[in-house]
Amino acid sequence: MTLRTALTDAAQRFAFSPTARLDAELLMAHALGIDRNALLLDMDRPVPAAFATLVDRRANHEPVAYITGTRGFWTIDLAVGPGALVPRPDSETLLIAAQAHFGTRHPATILDLGTGPGTLLLAALDEWSAHGLGIDRSAQALGYATANAATLGMTDRARFALGDWADAIDARFDLILANPPYIGTDEHLPDEVRAHEPASALFAGADGLDDYRILARQLPRLIAPHGCAAVEIGHTQAAPVAALFAAQGLASVVHRDLGDRDRCLLVTLGVGA
């Protein structure tokens, strides 16, 4: 079998995925021990024996990032695996919104609530010369975050702690990042998400708003003067989440992702706060 045929066959088995061909190429590159660009530049290589096992795993709806152990996000690559939410391109909207808020300034202190494998915090620290704290209730996820900080050479600027949102935090930060669970418990999700990624990072009560209610109460004491919070939302949640924040005296502006869907609320202290 040629490499091209193997990729075509694999993509056909991945028909459930909207990125079937890309999935096949990433798995082939992983099996060969090269990056995808090198694969695309040389398609005359023999098919490695390990590829078949990787295809079987993906055909069982296991996330590609769990199979390869890595996922690119913003300007960095992160180690990920079971117990950690897979970084998604839509979440980069939070960093774009923060860039727009700060302009030529830069945040000196950053808090990432629900940091998972360190996704948003480490990407922000790669963007700005700052120090940051990542909080998560999952020790397993924090294991990935700590390892990622070490790989990226950020252990002197990033620290992580086990916690439940900001319950134990008594400080203000220039930038707060949060990608909380926002899926309603009865909402449909693809098998690769529901069956593999941690439920605690996905589901937030019947309406998907439980964790926003907690964040709305906490953010007013966390945002430093002239600072902001960038909070990810589901694409139908801008109005109800903004209302929760407004009830606590917070102002928010919607930012849209590359698919033109509501994805982030950029939150600031209200006038007079």
Q: What is the pLDDT of residue 236?
A: 96
Q: Which of 57, 67, 61, 59 is nearest to 26 (CA)?
A: 67
Report the distance separating Cα 65 and Cα 188, nearest Å: 21
> Looking at the structure, do residues 120 and 231 belong to the same domain, yes or no?
yes
The answer to whether residue 32 sits within a structural domain is: yes
Q: What is the pLDDT of residue 126?
A: 98
Q: 156: how many CB neighbours lie within 10 A of its CB?
A: 8
> Looking at the structure, do residues 41 and 119 belong to the same domain, yes or no?
no
Q: What is the pLDDT of residue 77?
A: 97
The answer to whether residue 68 sits within a structural domain is: no
Residue numbers of the domain that contains 17: 3-60
- Residue 132 · residue 124 · CB < 8 Å: yes
The answer to whether residue 122 sits within a structural domain is: yes
Provide the pLDDT confidence category of residue 271 given band limits of 50, 70 and 90. low
Q: What is the pLDDT of residue 161?
A: 97
pTM given for the model: 0.95
The tens digit of pLDDT for each residue in 16-72 reads 999 999 999 999 999 999 999 999 999 999 999 999 999 999 999 999 999 999 999
> Looking at the structure, do residues 33 and 91 belong to the same domain, yes or no?
no
The answer to whether residue 21 sits within a structural domain is: yes
> Looking at the structure, do residues 102 and 230 belong to the same domain, yes or no?
yes
Report the distance separating Cα 106 and Cα 127, nearest Å: 9
> Looking at the structure, do residues 37 and 133 belong to the same domain, yes or no?
no
> Looking at the structure, do residues 255 and 186 belong to the same domain, yes or no?
yes
State the Cα torsion 226-232-236-242 to the nearest 10°. Answer: -30
> Looking at the structure, do residues 54 and 174 belong to the same domain, yes or no?
no
Q: What is the pLDDT of residue 258?
A: 93
What's the Cα-to-Cα distance from 22 to each of 19, 27, 63, 159, rounded to whole Å?
5, 9, 13, 34
The tens digit of pLDDT for each residue in 175-230 reads 999 999 999 998 999 999 999 999 999 999 999 999 999 999 999 999 999 999 99
Residue 141: give its domain's CATH number.
3.40.50.150
> Looking at the structure, do residues 130 and 48 belong to the same domain, yes or no?
no
The answer to whether residue 70 sits within a structural domain is: no
**Per-residue pLDDT for 273 more than 70?**
no
Give me the number of domains the chain comprises.
2
> Looking at the structure, do residues 139 and 31 belong to the same domain, yes or no?
no
The answer to whether residue 111 sits within a structural domain is: yes
In this prediction, residues 74-84 reach a mean pLDDT of 97
Q: Work out whether strand 70-73 and strand 158-162 pair parallel, antiparallel, or are unpaired.
A: unpaired
Helix axes 119-127, 139-151, angle to 10 degrees: 20
Tell which of 60, 86, 101 closes a domain: 60
